[in-house]
Amino acid sequence: MTDKNKTLKNAYQKEKLLIQLEEDDAEATEQHPSCAHGPTILFYRQSQKPQDGYYACSAHRDAKLCKFQMPASKWKGESIKRELSKRTHPLINQERIGRSKIVDPTLSMQALEQDAVNAQYFFDANALAFLAEQCQLLGITKVVCMGTPRLHFHLRDKCKNIQTFLLDLDERFASHLGPKEFCHYNMCNNHFFYDRRPFEDFLRGSITDRVLIATDPPFGCRTELIAHTLHSLRRLHNRLNQIPWTPLSIFWIYPYFAYNYIKQQMPEMEMSDYLINYTNHSRYTNVGDESRAYGSPVRLFTNVPLDQLNLTTREGYKFCPKCEKHTAQTTTHCDLCGKCSSQNGQIYRHCLSCDMCVKPNYVHCQNCRRCTQREGHICSLYQSMQICWLCGSRGHIESNCRVLEKVKKTKAMSTQRGQCCLLCGRKDHRERRCKQRNKYFNETEFMGQKTIEFRG
Ligand code: SAH
Ligand code: ZN
Ligand code: ZN
Ligand code: ZN
Ligand code: ZN
């Protein structure tokens, strides 16, 4: 993993800033102050109360890009009605009839690269063809390109049966695309800088329309914000078309290590094995000297059942009949795990002590009961970031779990550290997959999210 990826990953793991968004009826009243980029977000530390936090820009975490900051205590919670923008698209009066052909400006424009949060990475030709193919395969008729400008230009040029609309924070697109296909937009707070009616007209359709939202947010974006916006757009679509709660298909392009964050927000999302490559980013591509040994870490997350996608038209992918899904050629099916296990293009190996497949270069730590990186491993630090295989909460491992004490009380057990399942004493599995779990835990699963209760 490159240093930059490491920093990004650490930022994910250590981020303890909590956030609070405006309620979805945001149109009704102004709940948070606004900056130049629409309603702000309330940030506060885990140890703080929300009223001790501060309001800051939803899109820019870098003060150079947006200076706005206001202590929460200063905001008087004015209950004024929030107005939808009446500003019109700069080309409102020059809208060409129909769609004239334009050369994709992302091929020639200077990609924004102010910081990790705002860098623009454009899809390579394979990724574009793959995404367009999947849309065709799924019978999609309308695509909302949320922060995917190059995909927008690709679809409008190559897929005449698909209508597409670009929502992007980069206002330069307004000089290439008219109001019927572009709105200056902030996906972190679902804020439309221009009159949003042309977009509503786009969403309003016949019942035969199949709408998909394709988004590739900057990797520094908080997943809560994106998920919230995706939900808001679905509600808007459902309301405009007067249909009951109906999901929209989503393609959310993001690094694989954000898996747990996306799952937490949207349990219905699954990760496809397809590797997304970019043209202007050596770390996220499979060509060039600096390219990563295992290919791009960027994946497609989707609520479309994975067996409905087809990766086999692309080089390097195959169909696994045991999993009944398409996967990278390099993955191998593990019969012990019962699935194809690889997350980042590396061939995983099954560790009997972990009772799962692990990265090939990992070594097993008896103390931590897990395989982990060889270098810089500090047991206490590592354990403080793990999810316990007994109680399911983060911050400790099984041998330090409160529940274990109680389990021991109910059943005297010789717990040879790390060598056996702490619940039943057998050696061929770990606590996650123990058949006796239900003796100790009341487990319920709702929409992919598990609640574990100790029966005590
Ligand atoms: N791979 C995509 C581009 C992804 S780069 C493609 O080739 O089409 C991220 C895009 O999101 C950029 O176009 C950037 O301008 C846009 N963006 C960044 N922050 C945003 C925000 N808060 N709201 C909407 N769009 C944003
Ligand atoms: Zn395995
Ligand atoms: Zn192991
Ligand atoms: Zn350890
Ligand atoms: Zn625990």
Q: How many domains does the chain have?
A: 3
Q: Can you say how many angstroms the Cα of residue 416 is from the centroid of all Cα atoms in its chain?
A: 39
Residues 247 and 162 in one domain: yes
Please give the Cα distance from 291 to 285 (Å, whole number).
6
Query: Does the beta carbon of 168 lie inside 6 Å of ligand 1?
Result: yes
The pLDDT assigned to 449 comes to 58
Q: How far is the CA of 211 from the centre of ligand 5 (A)?
A: 42
Residues 252 and 387 in one domain: no
The pLDDT assigned to 3 comes to 44
Query: Does the beta carbon of 131 lie inside 6 Å of ligand 1?
Result: no
Q: How many residues are there in the chain?
A: 456
The mean-pLDDT minimum among 15-29, 55-69, 303-317, 393-407 falls in 15-29
Banded pLDDT at 153 (limits 50, 70, 90): very high
Ligand with an atom nearest the CA of residue 148? 1
Q: What residues contact residue 77 under an 8 Å CB cut-off, 6+ apart?
A: 31
Residue of 130, 150, 169 with the most ligand 1 atoms within 8 Å of its CB, for mutation:
169
Residues 125 and 215 in one domain: yes
Residues 63 and 207 in one domain: no
Please give the Cα distance from 268 to 303 (Å, whole number).
6
Residue of 170, 173, 213, 280 with the most ligand 1 atoms within 8 Å of its CB, for mutation:
170
Q: Name the residue range of residue 185's domain.
A: 99-334
In a domain, 378, yes or no: yes
pLDDT over 50 at 97, yes or no: no
Query: Does the beta carbon of 188 lie inside 6 Å of ligand 1?
Result: yes
Query: Does the beta carbon of 151 lie inside 6 Å of ligand 1?
Result: yes
The CATH number linked to 319 is 3.40.50.150
Q: What residues contact residue 117 under an 8 Å CB cut-off, 6+ apart?
A: 59, 60, 61, 62, 218, 220, 221
Q: Minimal CA–CA distance to 431: which of 386, 367, 369? A: 369
Exposure letters 390-427 (e unless 16+ CB within 10 A, then b):
bbbeeebbbbebebbeebeeeeeeebeebebbbbbeee
pTM summary value = 0.79
* CA-proximal residue: ligand 1, atom 11 (nearest): 147
pLDDT over 80 at 259, yes or no: yes
User: Which residue's structure tokens are 């058949």?
Assistant: 435
